[in-house]
Structure 1
Amino acid sequence: MMSTNKRTEIELLINESWEIESLLSLWQERGAATQAEIRAGQEKYQSWYARASPLISEASRAEFKDMYEGGMVIQRIKAFLTKPLEINQFYDPAASDSFFPKWSHVYSTTFLESFSSQRTLLQAEIYAVAEPSSVLAEIAEVFSRFPNFLQVLQTSAKPNVPAPTVKKEVDLQVLVEACLRLMYEDVRPEDFVPQRAGGRSRVDFLIPDVGVVVETKMTRESLTDKLVGEELAIDWHRYSAHPDCRGILALVYDPGRYLKNPAGLESDLTQSQGHPATRVLVIR
């Protein structure tokens, strides 16, 4: 799962990349730069590269590195930073239309193109979230221990510190939100879904960093297996319209054991390959 801290760090690096690009573009535009300016620019990029590299996934890391290293034939960022103002030995200043460029390492082709590619790879990491089904499984694993969590709170209660009770769905939502906030910084309760057919609905919780909606349901005597399934199907149809929804986890709290076949409900409504992916966890 991508943490909010990692996402924030990537966004800061992307913003910083525009500053680096603007700074280094001036060297060949002006045709001059002091050694102090060049050294400062080199250090600024090297610092950026050192912080960005660990955030690139293994599948893209070789490409990210190549955009810096280059080679004998295709020269990239490293060549530009080493000698940004070296004059091309074949350049003819007397010719107005010299075939060869003035600089040995032209900013636009050796630095800018490669740096833009690195930025694109970095941007892709924001969206390269783990498969929704994997995220749903990880969150479900945490909430499978919810009864133990609740039991500890209740058995550890003291006269002046009452134990939390879960008598209504709103009580459940308070505890679910508290647990989610242990895992993610950005948890948005009651986030609105774009309007559909004149109506507007809200998801219980949205975790935008991983594109997951968490829905809570608390069973009662009149809420049978069939009705739970029907309500979830209706809700999920609405939630799928949310632009950040890639997966939906339904936490069905059944302390009264009203559900006759919880395993069947979980199996029937869990779909790892769908869009959005869905998962049901019955908690007792």
Structure 2
Amino acid sequence: MSSNKRAEIERLLDESYEIESILSTWQINGFVTPQELREGQERYQSWYARATPLVSEVTRDQFKNMYEGGVFIQRIKSFLGNPIEINQFYDSTQADSPIPKWTYPFSTTFLNSFHEQRCILQAEIYSVAEAAPILSELAEAFARFPSFLQVLQSSGRSNIPAPRIEREEDLQVLVGACLRLLYDDVRPEDYVPDYGGGRSRVDFLLPAVGIVVETKMTRKTLTDKKVGEELLIDWGRYTRHPDCRGIFALVYDPDRRLVNPAGLQSDLSQDQSNPATRVIVVR
């Protein structure tokens, strides 16, 4: 995560407690002036508008729902709309009335939802920070993938057939085997939620560390620009996977079809994004 994004999230978290302190007095006092109401609404709306783009796509709907609410569950939007509306079923003559005084109680319609939004923002700080070192470890391990293949293919033992990578499926078999040397739980072809009416799958998921692993093998019709485009399209789908905190892409280019592999790696490797991404080209 970039230092600027982290600093902005930390500022928003600090500001959230100030907003909570101001709005909590409305129902305690039992009244709020029109100016105080407007200022409080604008203060929260500004916070919400700045915070939403910083939340990853995976949790953005949840973050928005904490504001919007619905027909049966009232949340922040309802509280801000009329914080001192008295519940029509409230009986002030009962000391222990089972019906709350306010139609939109601060604790249940605002505070609980605001707390959830804070938790989502806090998770943004840690999720990317945790993924980047793991992506670096995977990149370091698979940088030696060509040496691994060379040893297997030049073993000189006729009774042990050397692996041949002729298709992307062959590559996936070997990558999957290597991943199992590093992690106990390696899930091939794990599906992501529905996307545009269809289901997509990732090549491998490492659920213990929240990393999606994708493989690409270059061919005559799959060179620099096309590889980059396909990876970006795939990543747009993978971000919907609830366990995805980082994406590692291994591009195998045995025939050296890529003109600028270093550029591809540099352009698509983003430690500061969420999910973090890392691309490595091996030949």
TM-score (norm 2): 0.54
Q: Could you say which structure has the greater relative contact order, defined with CA pairs below 8 angstroms and 6 or more residues apart?
A: 2
Aligned match of 1:97: none
Partner residue in 1 for 2:188: 189
Cα distance in 2, alignment partners of residues 233 and 129 from structure 1: 18
Q: Return the alpha-carbon distance in structure 2 between the equivalents of residues 167 and 283 of structure 1.
A: 15
CA distance in 1, matches of 2:196, 2:220: 32
Tell me the amino acid that sits aligned with residue 153 of structure 1: L
Kindly indicate whether residue 140 of structure 2 is the aligned counterpart of residue 136 of structure 1: no
Q: How far apart, CA to CA, are the structure 2 residues paired with 1:150 and 1:223?
A: 22
Secondary structure in 2 matching 1:131:
helix
Are the equivalent residues in 1 in contact too, given 2:268–2:278 (CA < 8 A)? yes
Map of 2:148 onto structure 1? 149
Following the alignment from structure 1 to structure 2, what is the Cα–Cα distance between the partners of residues 250 and 216?
Answer: 6
1:142-192 residue CA offsets vs partner (Å, 9 max, x unmatched): 000000000001111422211011111111101101110000000000000
Task: Report the secondary structure of 1:198's partner residue.
Answer: coil
**Counterpart in 2 of 1:202?**
201
Matches within 5 A, 1:1-284: 131-284=130-283
Q: 1:185 to 1:129 in 2, by over 3 A?
A: farther
Give 5+ residue unaligned stretches, structure 2: 1-122
Distance across 1 between alignment mates of 2:233 and 2:128 = 26
The amino acid across from 1:171 in the alignment is D
Structure 1 unmatched runs, 5+: 1-123
- Give the conservation status (yes or no) of the 8 Å contact 2:128–2:245: no
Q: Distance in 2 between matches of 1:160 and 1:188?
A: 31
Query: Is contact 1:225–1:265 with CA below 8 Å preserved after alignment?
Result: yes
**Runs of 4+ in structure 1 displaced over 4 angstroms?**
127-130
Q: Which amino acid aligns with 2:137?
A: E
Aligned to 1:119: none
Count of aligned positions: 159
Between the aligned residues of both structures, percent identity stands at 70
Aligned residues of 2:128 and 2:272 also touching (Cα < 8 A): no
How far apart, CA to CA, are the structure 1 residues paired with 2:257 and 2:191? 30
Say if 2:128 and 2:274, in contact at 8 Å, map to a contact too: no
CA RMSD of aligned residues (A): 1.7
How big is each residue's C-alpha offset from its partner over 1:238-263, in whole Å with a ceiling of 9 and x where there is no partner?
A: 00000000000110000100000000
1-structure distance, mates of 2:196, 2:154: 48
Distance in 2 between residues matched to 1:236 and 1:263, nearest whole Å: 20
> Secondary structure in 1 aligned to 2:190?
strand
Q: Please list the CA deviations of residues 213-248 of structure 1 after superposition, one character each: whole Å capped at 9, or x if unmatched.
A: 000000012112000000000000000000000000
